[in-house]
Amino acid sequence: MKASEIKISYLNDKLEKVLIPNSQTIYNLIKIHCNLSNIEIHEEVKVVLLSKANILIGICDLPKDSIMNCSINIKLLLSVVLRAKSSNIILVHNHISRNINPTDVDKRITTALKNACDMVDIKLLDHLIISKESYFSFKDGSFL
């Protein structure tokens, strides 16, 4: 009997090293990697993968469970983070309502993700909720 082979690939073809020192830098970076024309139609979830020195490793799109209520599969997220050998991460998502204030669900997801990250020695540096015009940072807002 043969078992299925599971592959997760990571290809680093960027030579430029990008330092991520703060939430504004993340927001500017994510705006380049988001489809801003759909940001008010579909919720998107991304995880920013960083080295221990906060050098950008990559950005990974996470699957969306539904358009109206985006939930995070923490096991899938951590499997990607571990495969990329990332030491630090930043979670980023949008609200289609354009309201960047965190919901109770956002707060629970952040807490659950932080606890899971702590168990495998990964730092959740921030969680951003973004819109076309602005963002909310859990770190800047003292939630992290």
Taking the C-alpha atoms of residue 91 and residue 109, their distance in angstroms, rounded to an integer, is 10
Q: Which of 117, 105, 107, 108 is nearest to 75 (CA)?
A: 117
In this prediction, residues 59-86 reach a mean pLDDT of 77
Count other C-beta atoms under 10 Å from residue 43's C-beta: 19
Q: What is the pLDDT of residue 11?
A: 61
Q: Is 35 helix (H, G, I), strand (E, B) or coil?
A: coil
Here the tokens at position 54 are 């906060």
- The percent of residues above 70 in pLDDT, for the chain, comes to 85
Per-residue model confidence (pLDDT) at position 126: 98
Tell me how far apart the alpha carbons of residues 101 and 52 are, in angstroms, rounded to a whole number: 29
CATH architecture of 23-137: 3-Layer(aba) Sandwich (3.40)
pLDDT, mean of residues 95-122: 93
Write out pLDDT tens, residues 17-68: 889 999 999 999 998 888 777 777 888 889 999 999 999 999 988 876 533 4
- Hey, what amino acid is at 91? L
